[in-house]
Amino acid sequence: MKTIRKYAVIIRVSLSNAVAYRAGVLSGLCFYTVFIYVFICLWRAIYSEGSVRGYSYEQIVWYLIMTELVSFATQYSVYHDMNNDVKSGAIAYLIGRPVHYVFYQLANALGQIVWNLVCFGALAAVLGFSFVGPLPGFRLAALPPLLLSMALGIFINFFFLMMLGLSSFIMEDNFALFLIYQKLVFMLGLFLPVEFLPDTIQKIAKLLPFSYVTWAPAKLFVDFSWPLFWSVVPVQIIWLAATATLTMLCYRGGVKKLQVNGG
Amino acid sequence: MQSMKKHAKIMFCYFRLNLASAMEYRASFFTQAFGMALSNSSFIFFWWIAFRQLGGTIAGYSFYDILFIWSVTSSAFGLSHVLFENVNNLSQLIITGELDTFLLQPCNILVNMLCARTSLSAYGDLAYGFVLMALSHGADASAWGWFLTGTLIGGFLITAISLTAHTLTFYLGNASVLGQMTTEFVINFSIYPDKIYGTALRVLMYTLIPAGFIVHVPLRLAREFSLGTLALLLGAAAVYGVLSGLLFYRGLRKYESGNVIITRL
């Protein structure tokens, strides 16, 4: 109980920080609007040439609004923070604190994520309704399972970024790994629904965790059905467990090897 | 002429020193350059899927046109950031008073300031454009000619556009977010067919943020050469470059020096 309270305080402080420095989110909102506008223009041009399989124009616009929402909501600096902590040696001070370093980072990021979701979620709704109107066939009853899938996607992404940050224990420069991960998420769901990929790549994509960050919640959002829910959410839970376990193993292995010189 | 030669010499010295400094951290240099090239490839994957679904053209652009505009954008962006990366730091230099360092040196302020830094990942962008051109257009001499023209003029224009945006810090206060937004606009205007945008945005991309001249005009020239279009391209780049330089020097008069002590090693 005491442990939970400790991390709840960290989440509260992180949320207060995010609200206090709300101007920081403004530039993100501008970038979000630019991205959505550009993609709306692009997909309008694509749909004017012909139909694209399985998705109506309204669905693809709302799909992109949702994938970008997940992507922007998780725009916190955990990868850079952990990289800096390891490279600067600051981790030596942080691991000595009466909180687990990994859970501290998680709690610290949660406040920012909640604030981002509120801000970007409101903007997403405004943009979607302004550009294409309401999403056809969307029911409010689909909201709780959708939020669950979104949360799972956000956490999978979080643990991946944490693992990438921790890779600086063994790599001099892990920026390329970060870019590779970012682009895998990008190609396998963020900009394109997995259904658009060639059949072989589609099968591989559905076996990998990257699609479950943005594609799974966005697909549930635009085309909700319980069979779809049961086909994606359990997979998200498995990948979440796998990434969380791997993160803890990376952390333990890294800390054992840690050598900090000076003080 | 003497002055031009002197500036070119300074630019070359900065390039050599920045590259030598980057090569000190070889692993970091190569991973960043490789990572950026890989990152760019993911967009080509997006277009490949889009054209696979539709075939033909999208907003009047074929898949090969898209590969051309991507090659030019990537190399022009790379060239600008390899040589003039410090332009993106200008707002910060003005706010913190660090511009003093450049004012005190016996060298053209603008050239000295612009060339002072390089971006490691930009080498990846620069190389990526050449690789993509080789793969997509092979030995097509005309396409290569317009690619090189677009890269040189595009690199110059991208720097001038960023300079204009960051120079606004002299007039309006911290314009770093505006600078980032402008870069984002330039990239987005350059990597998609210009016809996907409405009239108002297209006016913007051929005037205030002249991203249209970076790739879309060179593409038109590659498709069908016209002396008038070439003159328009060169004229627009020259006029925009001169105006952004004038705006910078006019803004410099408003600059208030700080008391920060800086050492440049």
- Alpha-carbon distances, residue B171 vs A179, B31, B167 (angstroms): 36, 39, 8
Count of beta carbons in the 10 Å neighbourhood of residue A93? 11
Q: By the 8 A CB rule, do B94 and B145 touch? A: no
Cβ contact, residue pair B58, A179, below 8 Å:
no
* Interface residue A204 vs chain B (CB under 8 A): no
Strand partners, A52: A55
3-class state of residue B58 by DSSP: strand
The burial class, CB within 10 Å (0-12 / 13-18 / 19+), for B60 is: exposed
Cα(A186)–Cα(A191) distance, rounded to whole angstroms? 6
B1 band by pLDDT with thresholds 50, 70 and 90: low
Both tokens of A66, joined, read 């949702």
DSSP one-letter code for B105: S
Q: Which of B123, B126, B131 is nearest to B26 (CA)?
A: B123
B264 band by pLDDT with thresholds 50, 70 and 90: low
* Average pLDDT across chain B, whole number: 89
- Condensed to tens digits (0 to 9), the pLDDT of residues A230-242 reads 999 999 999 999 9
Please compute Rg for chain A using Cα positions: 19
CA distance B65 to chain A (A): 15
List, in order, residues 6 or more apart from A97 with CB less than 8 Å away.
Answer: A104
3-class state of residue B140 by DSSP: coil
Q: pTM for the complete prediction?
A: 0.85
Both tokens of A59, joined, read 């669905």
* Interface residue B58 vs chain A (CB under 8 A): yes
How many CB contacts within 8 angstroms connect chain A with chain B? Answer: 81
Cα(B163)–Cα(B118) distance, rounded to whole angstroms? 15
Within 8 A of A179 by CB-CB distance, chain B residues are 35-36, 38-39
ipTM entry? 0.81
Q: Which residue of A has its CA nearest to B41?
A: A183
* Interface residue A178 vs chain B (CB under 8 A): yes
Q: Regarding predicted confidence, which is higher, B36 or B194?
A: B194
Among B31, B36, B58, B199, pick the best mutation site for testing chain A contact (most A Cβ within 10 A): B31
Cα(B220)–Cα(B212) distance, rounded to whole angstroms? 11
**Residue carrying structure tokens 């002072």:** B116
Q: Which of B238, B222, B231 is nearest to B157 (CA)?
A: B238
Q: By the 8 A CB rule, do A185 and A216 touch? A: no
Cα(B42)–Cα(A182) distance, rounded to whole angstroms? 10
- Condensed to tens digits (0 to 9), the pLDDT of residues B53-82 reads 777 888 889 999 999 999 999 999 999 999
Count of beta carbons in the 10 Å neighbourhood of residue A101? 18
Cβ contact, residue pair B31, A176, below 8 Å:
yes
Scored b (16 or more CB within 10 A) or e, A196-216 reads: bbeeeeeeebbeebbbbbbbb
- Condensed to tens digits (0 to 9), the pLDDT of residues B16-34 reads 998 888 887 777 778 778 8
* Interface residue A80 vs chain B (CB under 8 A): no
* Interface residue A41 vs chain B (CB under 8 A): yes
User: What is the full DSSP assignment across chain A?
Assistant: -HHHHHHHHHHHHHHHHHHHTTHHHHHHHHHHHHHHHHHHHHHHHHHHH--BTTB-HHHHHHHHHHHHHHHHHT---HHHHHHHHHHHSTHHHHTTSSS-HHHHHHHHHHHHHHHHHHHHHHHHHHHHHHHH-SPTT--GGGHHHHHHHHHHHHHHHHHHHHHHHHGGGT-S--HHHHHHHHHHHIIIIISS-GGGS-HHHHHHHHHSSTHHHHHHHHHHHHS--HHHHHHHHHHHHHHHHHHHHHHHHHHHHHHHH------
Local confidence pLDDT in tens for the 263 residues of chain A: 777 888 899 899 988 888 887 777 888 888 899 889 998 998 888 888 776 778 889 999 999 999 999 988 886 678 888 888 877 778 888 888 888 888 888 898 888 899 999 999 999 999 999 999 999 888 888 999 999 999 999 999 999 998 988 888 877 677 778 888 888 898 888 888 999 888 899 999 999 999 999 999 999 999 999 999 999 999 999 999 999 999 999 888 888 877 666 55
Among A34, A45, A187, beta carbon nearest to B196 = A45
Residue A157 has a pLDDT of 92
- Condensed to tens digits (0 to 9), the pLDDT of residues B2-20 reads 778 888 888 899 889 988 8
CA distance B220 to chain A (A): 19
Within 8 A of A178 by CB-CB distance, chain B residues are 35
